[in-house]
């Protein structure tokens, strides 16, 4: 006997569902918003419940009722012969969707239908079934729209996206039928048939992996769950048992095939544990492997040669501005991993923020619109071939200043000559050490009191960052202004740079939080990425007084990287956490970075993202470091660290701090508190940039002190050895 049915599904996958049902044998199929109408016998309805990877519900319409009032709804529902469908000893629930002028909420509509069902059965049986909202035997679905209520028997029971394997989940998990739809759009069935692998570098709780394995293994998604029709009075169990036997046989055959490689990775250990649990629950642990791994380490597995396959992922796409900024780097890093290690593969990225996908610098050949819950989203597909890799648009550098030496003032020529001389002295060293950011000039000539630093971005563009030290009050303002004009003329000329690639600032002593505030710079100019050692970092030459990277601490950061493997690293007064990134990339067990500034911590988050690192083992904490240290030492040593960086400012009276910090006065207490957190055999690196600083070694006789100051200065800072002081401090053995 043929019946009319309705298959409900998430918006955006109706076309896929129509094809799926047609392939099962459905006739008279018709697509509508969030569903498909179709016809077929009872076996087809059962098959759809068991095998549909895309539907939410399979509904058997029982009646269509014109509804202007609650009484009309009640009357129409009562006329349905409920005794043919529901056992008087069973339980049911009514799912009601829609409103009109008199039925103003779904609870009222559900109540009127429930009353009609109960009264109908009571009239015929003199008893009534019970209502069970949690685990009913039968679900009744009512949809009210345009003055009509469609009353249907829900053959599926709970939503079909609930396969029964997901016992644990991460944040904002993807529904199983949406995951299946993404895999179908990404052509996974054909890739799997050809023996291609599937990898997900940000797999969360593993939904994409499990759905992929079920498709590759020809496993019915509903094989491990129950359905609403099993308690239906008109249920044909012989038909159902035949379908189950067929599905179990297909599963055995599917799992006996040579396994395709399906692997998932995530930086978050908690969600990896959830993925492991779900994979085991799905009985697919022989097919699927999940591992905690940072995005920076995402490469093809090396245990065997893989056929080109599919890389698919649902990366985070954030809601807060700070998240968006760091995620731009995450997507860019994802694109780099794909271009470097997966040429010849297919890739699919599912996101609710397609602007972020542009950062991958990959050209998508196809886009599909979906809804992830209520959030409009897109699936972007990529052929990972060199011809499809976008070239990063070259930065508009303009032309160098067209001033010949004869057009420079005598003072500007002197400064230009000094810059040429300094560059010649360090050029070989820069090339040998592969240094991209360095100090070229630091008030070498008293008349031109400025620091001039060079930054070469990873895109190859070169910039100069000029910080003019504030002139003494004894210097005439007009003379100071003239000298600044001469600096502006000399720097682009000497370095063959466009004036647009030179940033000019004047340093003054800052108070409170002013050091965190933006300057009146050009917001149209973007931060740039630079490389130092084995890490990439963000620097901003335009909008803040400091660039985000203290160049004089380069050897200190590299020292930290050398000591960090397997270490627990604490970074106090972390600034943009560049030292922490070095430690993390070098193999630190975990890092904890503490700073009072939300601005700098957001910057630190971006620095991690650039390098494909997450915060799962690289924690950022906003706190007053002085109070944080006091609390940590006063509460007993709950956590110890093998490596600590303590680099306080010379002076701070920020309103957000409980105390005023004076590093000369307070350094002994700071070091004492930090050493309470240092594990035996560990190293504390203490540094500060107060040029008159003197370490109170007598007050620190309980520790082994090594003056690291001279060794911590590279060739570009040896003209001024007072720029910072640095010590390596250990417990006495």
Residue 75 tokens read as 């009357």
Chain segment 652-689, per-residue pLDDT in tens: 876 555 568 899 999 999 999 999 999 999 999 999 99
In sign, the C-alpha dihedral spanning 14, 19, 21, 26 is positive
Task: Round the average pLDDT of the chain to a whole number and report it.
Answer: 90
Q: Are residues 368 and 322 in the same domain?
A: yes
Residue 170 tokens read as 């991460």
- 498 occurs within a structural domain: yes
Q: Are residues 350 and 413 in the same domain?
A: no
Q: Which residues contact 679 (CB under 8 A, 6 or more apart)?
A: 568, 640, 641, 642
**Distance, CA of 496 to CA of 49 (rounded, Å):** 70
- 384 occurs within a structural domain: yes
Could you tell me if 212 and 198 are in contact, meaning their C-beta atoms sit under 8 angstroms apart? yes
Q: Are residues 312 and 204 in the same domain?
A: yes
- 626 occurs within a structural domain: yes
Tokens 């359905």: give the residue. Answer: 227
**C-alpha separations of 656 from 623, 625, 635 in Å:** 9, 11, 22
Domains in the chain: how many in total?
4
Q: State the burial class of residue 666 (Cβ atoms within 10 Å of its Cβ: 0-12, 13-18, 19+).
A: middle
Which of the four pLDDT bands, split at 50, 70 and 90, describes residue 404?
A: low
Q: Are residues 190 and 57 in the same domain?
A: no
Q: Are residues 712 and 590 in the same domain?
A: yes
pLDDT for residue 408 = 86
Nearest to 174 by CA among 251, 310, 95, 271: 271
Residue 448 tokens read as 């031109």
Give, for 120, the enclosing helix (H) or strand (E).
helix 106-125
- 484 occurs within a structural domain: yes
**Distance, CA of 429 to CA of 199 (rounded, Å):** 42
Task: Point out which residues pair with 574 in neighbouring strands.
Answer: none
Q: Which residues contact 196 (CB under 8 A, 6 or more apart)?
A: 260, 306, 307, 308, 309, 310, 346
Which of the four pLDDT bands, split at 50, 70 and 90, describes residue 635?
A: low
Q: List helix spans (H) across 134-236.
A: 176-185, 188-193, 207-216
- 627 occurs within a structural domain: yes
Q: Are residues 290 and 364 in the same domain?
A: yes
The C-alpha angle 103, 157, 282, rounded to 5 degrees, equals 140
Please tell me the number of Cα atoms within 13 Å of 374 on its side-chain side: 0
What are phi and psi for residue 399, nearest 5 degrees? -110, 150
Which of the four pLDDT bands, split at 50, 70 and 90, describes residue 394?
A: very low
Strand spans (E) along 33-147: 35-40, 57-66, 91-97, 130-131, 138-145
Q: Name the percent of the chain lying above pLDDT 70.
A: 92
pLDDT for residue 506 = 77
- Give the number of other CB atoms < 10 A from CB of residue 521: 15
**Distance, CA of 594 to CA of 572 (rounded, Å):** 5
pLDDT for residue 328 = 87
Q: Are residues 338 and 424 in the same domain?
A: no
DSSP-assigned states of every residue in 556-620: HHHHHHHH-TT-EEEEET-TT-HHHHHHHHTT-SEEEEEES-HHHHHHHHHHHHHTT--SSSEEE
Q: Are residues 328 and 468 in the same domain?
A: no
Tokens 């004089």: give the residue. Answer: 552
pTM of the model: 0.80
**Distance, CA of 232 to CA of 154 (rounded, Å):** 10
Q: Are residues 384 and 400 in the same domain?
A: no
Q: What is the domain-level CATH number for residue 558?
A: 3.40.50.150
Which of the four pLDDT bands, split at 50, 70 and 90, describes residue 510?
A: very low
Q: List helix spans (H) across 346-408.
A: 354-357
**Residue 399 reports pLDDT greater than 70:** no
Domain limits at 291?
176-221+256-388
DSSP-assigned states of every residue in 194-219: TT--EEETT-TTSHHHHHHHHHHTT-
Q: Are residues 341 and 409 in the same domain?
A: no
Q: Are residues 115 and 213 in the same domain?
A: no
- 302 occurs within a structural domain: yes
What are phi and psi for residue 701, nearest 5 degrees? -65, -15
Q: Which residues contact 337 (CB under 8 A, 6 or more apart)?
A: 201, 295, 296, 298, 299, 612
**Residue 282 reports pLDDT greater than 50:** yes
Please tell me the number of Cα atoms within 13 Å of 236 on its side-chain side: 12
Q: What is the domain-level CATH number for residue 77?
A: 3.30.2130.30
What are phi and psi for residue 675, nearest 5 degrees? -65, -20
Nearest to 334 by CA among 307, 315, 354: 315
User: Of 238-252, 475-489, 556-570, 591-605, which range is least confident?
Assistant: 475-489
**Distance, CA of 684 to CA of 568 (rounded, Å):** 12
pLDDT for residue 291 = 96
Could you tell me if 723 and 691 are in contact, meaning their C-beta atoms sit under 8 angstroms apart? yes
**Residue 439 reports pLDDT greater than 80:** yes
Chain segment 295-331, per-residue pLDDT in tens: 999 999 988 888 999 999 999 887 544 577 788 889 9
Which of the four pLDDT bands, split at 50, 70 and 90, describes residue 521?
A: low
Among the three residues 340, 367, 388, which one is the final residue of a domain in this structure?
388
pLDDT for residue 323 = 74
- 249 occurs within a structural domain: no
- Give the number of other CB atoms < 10 A from CB of residue 26: 22
Among the three residues 332, 364, 388, which one is the final residue of a domain in this structure?
388
- 3-state DSSP call for residue 462? strand
Q: What is the mean pLDDT of residues 540-554?
A: 94
- 240 occurs within a structural domain: no
Residue 715 tokens read as 């060739």
Q: What is the mean pLDDT of residues 379-385?
A: 95
Q: Are residues 426 and 350 in the same domain?
A: no
**Residue 80 reports pLDDT greater than 80:** yes
Chain segment 195-236, per-residue pLDDT in tens: 999 999 999 999 999 999 999 999 999 999 999 999 999 999
pLDDT for residue 518 = 52
Which of the four pLDDT bands, split at 50, 70 and 90, describes residue 140?
A: very high
Q: Name the percent of the chain lying above pLDDT 90.
A: 76
Terminal CA-to-CA distance of the chain, rounded, Å?
Answer: 88
């Amino acid at each position: 006997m043929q019946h009319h049915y309705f298959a409900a599904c998430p918006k955006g996958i109706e076309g896929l569902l129509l094809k799926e049902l047609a392939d099962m044998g459905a006739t008279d199929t018709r697509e509508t918003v969030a569903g498909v109408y179709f016809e077929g016998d009872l076996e087809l309805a059962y098959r759809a419940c068991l095998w549909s990877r895309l539907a939410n519900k399979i509904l058997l319409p029982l009646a269509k009722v014109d509804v202007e009032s609650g009484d009309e709804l009640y009357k129409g529902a009562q006329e349905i012969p409920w005794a043919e469908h529901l056992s008087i000893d069973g339980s049911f629930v009514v799912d009601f969707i829609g409103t009109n002028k008199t039925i103003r909420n779904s609870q009222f509509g559900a109540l009127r239908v429930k009353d009609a069902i109960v009264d109908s059965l009571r009239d015929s049986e003199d008893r009534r079934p019970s209502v069970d909202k949690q685990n009913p035997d039968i679900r009744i679905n009512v949809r009210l729209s345009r003055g009509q209520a469609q009353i249907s028997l829900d053959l599926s029971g709970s939503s079909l996206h609930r396969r029964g394997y997901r016992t644990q989940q991460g944040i904002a998990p993807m529904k199983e039928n949406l995951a299946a739809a993404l895999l179908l759009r990404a052509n996974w069935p054909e890739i799997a048939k050809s023996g291609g692998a599937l990898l997900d570098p940000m797999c969360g709780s593993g939904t994409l992996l499990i759905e992929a394995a079920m498709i590759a293994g020809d496993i019915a998604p509903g094989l491990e769950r129950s359905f609403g029709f099993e308690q239906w009075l008109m249920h044909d169990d012989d038909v159902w048992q035949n379908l189950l036997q067929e599905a179990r046989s297909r599963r055995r055959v599917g799992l006996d095939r040579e396994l395709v490689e399906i692997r998932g990775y995530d930086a978050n250990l908690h969600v990896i544990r959830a993925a492991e649990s779900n994979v085991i629950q799905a009985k697919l642990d022989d097919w699927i492997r999940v591992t905690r791994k940072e995005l920076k380490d995402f490469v093809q597995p090396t245990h065997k040669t893989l056929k080109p396959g599919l890389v698919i992922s649902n990366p985070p796409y954030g809601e807060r501005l700070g998240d968006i900024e760091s995620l731009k780097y995450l997507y860019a890093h994802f694109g780099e991993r794909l271009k470097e290690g997966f040429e010849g593969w297919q890739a699919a990225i599912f996101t609710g923020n397609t602007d972020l996908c542009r950062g991958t610098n990959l050209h998508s050949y196809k886009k599909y619109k979906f809804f992830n819950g209520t959030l409009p989203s897109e699936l972007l597909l990529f052929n990972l071939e060199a011809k499809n890799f976008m070239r990063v648009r070259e930065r508009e550098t303009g032309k160098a200043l067209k001033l010949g030496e004869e057009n420079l003032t005598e003072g500007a020529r002197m400064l230009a000559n000094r810059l040429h001389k300094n560059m010649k002295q360090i050029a070989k060293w820069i090339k040998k050490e592969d240094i991209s950011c360095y100090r070229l000039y630091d008030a070498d000539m008293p008349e031109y009191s400025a620091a001039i630093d060079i930054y070469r971005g990873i895109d190859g563009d070169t910039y100069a960052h000029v910080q003019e030290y504030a002139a003494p009050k004894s210097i005439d303002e007009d003379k100071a202004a003239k000298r600044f004009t001469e600096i502006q003329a000399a720097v682009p000329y000497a370095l063959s740079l466009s004036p647009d690639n030179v940033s000019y600032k004047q340093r003054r002593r800052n108070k409170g939080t002013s050091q965190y505030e933006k300057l009146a710079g050009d917001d149209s100019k973007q931060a740039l990425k630079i490389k130092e050692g084995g890490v990439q970092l963000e620097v901003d030459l335009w909008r803040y007084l400091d660039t985000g990277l203290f160049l004089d601490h380069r050897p200190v950061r590299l020292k930290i990287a050398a000591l960090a493997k397997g270490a627990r690293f604490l970074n106090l007064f972390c600034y943009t956490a560049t030292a922490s990134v070095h430690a993390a990339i070098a193999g630190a067990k975990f890092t904890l970075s503490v700073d009072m500034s939300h601005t700098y911590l957001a910057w630190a988050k971006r620095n991690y993202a650039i390098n494909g690192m997450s915060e799962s083992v690289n924690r950022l904490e906003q706190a007053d470091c002085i109070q944080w240290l006091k609390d940590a030492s006063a509460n007993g040593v709950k956590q110890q660290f093998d490596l600590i960086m303590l680099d306080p400012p010379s002076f701070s009276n920020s309103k957000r701090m409980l105390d005023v910090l004076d590093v000369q006065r307070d350094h002994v207490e700071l070091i004492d508190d930090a050493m309470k957190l240092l594990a035996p055999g560990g190293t504390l690196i203490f540094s500060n940039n107060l040029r008159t600083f003197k370490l109170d070694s007598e007050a620190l006789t309980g520790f082994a002190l090594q003056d690291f100051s001279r060794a911590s200065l590279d060739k570009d800072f040896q003209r001024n050895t007072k720029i910072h002081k640095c010590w390596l401090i250990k417990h006495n053995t």
